Structure 1
Amino acid sequence: MSMLIKGFKYIIPCQSRFSKTSTDNIVKQKYMSISRTIQRCLDDHGVVAQELDDKEAFLALNHLLHELQSTLLPCKFKIRSRHERNIVKSIRQILSTRSDVIMRRTEKSKVLFLGNALEFSNKALEYMIKTEAYQELIHDDCPLHDILNAVTSLLIYLLKHRTINQCQHKRMNPKRDTLELAHLYFIPKPHKPDCSLRPIVAANHAPTTMMSQYLNDLLAPIYL
């Protein structure tokens, strides 16, 4: 369990050496990732780079990646890497079988939080009861269709009465191909004494999102 204490600074060493992916594909993926990053930096500074693969620096980069990936690991380091990889795999397997343990990303430190699932659930339920702003869905009773109909009916009404024009109607109309119900989830705050939860509503693809975005773009400049 001491591995978990290492937090987000810990990375399993030499992960690619134990991958089933071929060396050529690994090098290609790394090369594309690094070269794209360099290209973005060049673009940010107004430097035009053409035929990057033919340039000496990028050829050297590709050669270096091949060399690093092909170099044999020292025996002790290889044993250590395999050992730590197996430990991480065993931790994942243990956590996958522990229904009483919940794993979440934390609010600020970007590390994983492991806690009591029942305690986490009780805190979430307590917040929902206190605010009376959320409702748990049971028996697959999803109100998504009703919310969508309410939004589209309102937009059609506004369009017919010329309160909005066709362009505005198009901008606020929900995107049906990516539609999903807004939902509530919680992020733990372990830096707080009672490890309280931060509520977050995921509504990027909710029926009201396009309307909300349009109104924000329209009204926000007034207060800026």
Structure 2
Amino acid sequence: MKKIIDQEYKRLYDETGKNLTKYAFPTDDSRATEFFSELKHLLEQLYAKPLPKKLKANARYIYKMIKSMQRKLRKANITVGQIDKSKLFFFIDTQEYEEKVKNYMNKTNAYREITSGICPLANDLHLVILLLDHLHERKEITDEQYKQMYPNLKTLELAHIYFNLKVHKPEISVRPIVASINALARLISSFLDQLRTPIYNYVTKDITFINSIGLIRKLNEYQQK
């Protein structure tokens, strides 16, 4: 149970922290710290509370039904995925889906499939650590920055790609989605984003609109000039 709570908390923390950073609000601010503490406490309360019998029985029924559907889909060689820019799902013959993916990869030549059976994660990790060590030894980054950018070995995974179908297109093409939330350079990228976002927000503050109200105000100011 603790593992589930920690995973859910991390997901919410990362998503909320990303939004806070986007608007130059530090995640170590006392208000943010208090919010995350309350969030963790709320999750612990929710997961510790036993489910009502009716809800528990319904959850088991849905679980069995989903497992049954998965077995039938595998037997029929059907691929299920999420439709591009939608919460709906698609069902497509696996061979046809794989052909669409292969055609896209051959056409763009932007991605490489690992066919050797050897995962390059260890080698890439070695290169990233070498870079961080080099910067640290040259005093170009501080101890704290080094720790902040050092890859999390517990959650580390190779960035990978999957494809959603564009069912609104005439030929039903595919859209690539790169999953890199736990990639090697993720923390380095996050660190650089935190450095650059306040600068960008400051430089573009006069031409950046957070919501429609801000846009209307700017239009009114422009009209009055």
Is TM-score (shorter-chain normalized) higher than 0.5?
yes
Q: What residue identity is the alignment partner of 2:167? A: P
Which of 94, 98, 102 aligns to 2:76? It is 98
Q: Deviations over 1:104-128 (max 9, x none)?
A: 1112331220012222212212222
* Residue from 90, 95, 99 that aligns with 1:122: 99
Whether 1:147 and 2:124 are equivalent positions in the alignment is yes
Question: Given the superposition, is the C-alpha separation of residues 165 and 96 from structure 1 closer, same or farther in structure 2, using an over 3 Å criterion?
Answer: same
Match of 2:113 in 1: 136
Counterparts in 2 of 1:144-183, with a 5 A limit?
144-183=121-160
Higher relative contact order (CA 8 A, sep 6+): 2
Q: TM-score, normalised by structure 1?
A: 0.58
Return the letter of the residue paired with 1:166: D
Structure 1 gaps of 5+ residues are: 1-43, 45-64, 71-81
TM-superposed deviation, 1:135: 1.1
Aligned amino acid, residue 123 of structure 1: K
Per-residue CA deviation, residues 167-218 of structure 1 (Å, 9 max, x unaligned), is: 1111100000111100011111212222121111111111111101111111
Q: Using a 3 Å threshold, how does the CA distance of structure 1 residues 173 and 187 change in structure 2: closer, same or farther? A: same
The structure with the larger Rg is: 1
Residue of structure 2 equivalent to 1:207: 184
Aligned length, in residue pairs: 147
CA distance in 2, matches of 1:91, 1:169: 47
CA deviations over 1:80-137 (Å, ceiling 9, x no partner): xx9xxx99886544312022x2111112331220012222212212222233222111
Taking structure 2 as the reference length, the TM-score comes to 0.57
Label 1:181 to 1:92 Cα distance change in 2 as closer, same or farther (>3 A).
Answer: closer
Deviation at 1:219, TM superposition (A): 1.1
Indicate the RMSD between aligned Cα atoms, in angstroms. Answer: 3.0
